Chains A and B, each alone.
Chain A
Amino acid sequence: MRTTARASAYTALNLLFFALAGTALLAWTYDLTHETIARSEENEKLKLIAQIAPPATYDNDIMKDTAQLAADKLLGGTGTTLVYRGRLNNQPSIAVLQVIAPDGYSGRINLIIAIRSDGSIGGVRVVSHRETPGLGDYIEIARSNWITGFNGASLENRKSGEWKVKKDGGSFDYMAGATITPRTIVKAVHKALQYYAQHRDEMFANVEARRAVPLLPAKEK
Chain B
Amino acid sequence: MTYQGIKDILYNGLWKQNPGVAQLLGLCPLLAISNTVVNALSLGLATTLVMTLSGSGVAAIREVIPNETRIPVYILLIAVLVTVVQLLMNAYVHPLYLVLGIFIPLIVTNCIILARAESFASKNGVFASALDGIAMGLGLTAVLVVLGGIREIFGHGTLLSGIDMVFGEAAKSLVITVVPNYHGFLLAILPPGAFIALGLLIALKNWLNLRAERKAHGANATVAPVEGGCSTAH
Partners in one complex: yes
A residues touching B (Cβ–Cβ < 8 Å)?
7, 10-11, 14-15, 18-19, 22, 25-26, 29-30, 32-33, 36-37, 40, 44, 130, 132-135, 137, 142-143, 176-177
* Chain B residues, CB < 8 A from A26: 80, 83-84
Q: Which of B42, B43, B83, B189 contacts A176 (CB 8 A)?
A: B189
* Chain A residues, CB < 8 A from B36: 134
Chain B: CB-nearest residue to A13: B66
Contact A11 B66 (CB under 8 A): yes
Contact B102 A10 (CB under 8 A): no
Chain A: CB-nearest residue to B76: A22
Contact A33 B189 (CB under 8 A): no
Interface residues on B, range: 35 or more
Contact A33 B90 (CB under 8 A): yes
Chain A: CB-nearest residue to B95: A40
1/0 contact string of B4-40 vs chain A (CB within 8 Å): 0000000000000000000000000000110110010
Contact B87 A33 (CB under 8 A): yes
Contact B102 A137 (CB under 8 A): yes
* A14 to B79 CA separation, bound complex (whole angstroms): 18
* A135 to B91 CA separation, bound complex (whole angstroms): 24
Main secondary structure of the interface of B (DSSP, over half): helix
Q: Which of B61, B65, B94, B190 contacts A40 (CB 8 A)?
A: B94
Contact B92 A36 (CB under 8 A): yes
* Chain B residues, CB < 8 A from A133: 33, 39, 42-43, 102-103, 106
Does residue B146 face the partner (Cβ distance < 8 Å to A)?
no
Contact A25 B39 (CB under 8 A): no
What number of residue pairs across chains A and B have CB atoms under 8 A from each other?
Answer: 78
> What are the 3 closest A-B residue pairs judged by CB atoms, nearest first?
A33-B91, A134-B33, A36-B91
Contact B87 A18 (CB under 8 A): no
Does residue B186 face the partner (Cβ distance < 8 Å to A)?
yes
**Contacts A37-B91, A133-B106 hold; do A142 and B84 have CB atoms under 8 A apart?**
no
Chain A: CB-nearest residue to B98: A142
**Contacts A132-B106, A134-B39 hold; do A14 and B90 have CB atoms under 8 A apart?**
no
* Chain A residues, CB < 8 A from B42: 133
1/0 contact string of B77-88 vs chain A (CB within 8 Å): 101100110011
Q: Which of A10, A44, A134 contacts B35 (CB 8 A)?
A: A134
**Contacts A15-B69, A134-B32 hold; do A30 and B80 have CB atoms under 8 A apart?**
no
Contact A177 B69 (CB under 8 A): no
* Minimum C-beta distance from B86 to chain A (A): 9
Contact B77 A22 (CB under 8 A): yes
A/B interface sample: 10 pairs, CB < 8 A: A10-B66, A11-B68, A14-B66, A14-B69, A18-B76, A29-B84, A36-B91, A36-B92, A44-B94, A130-B105
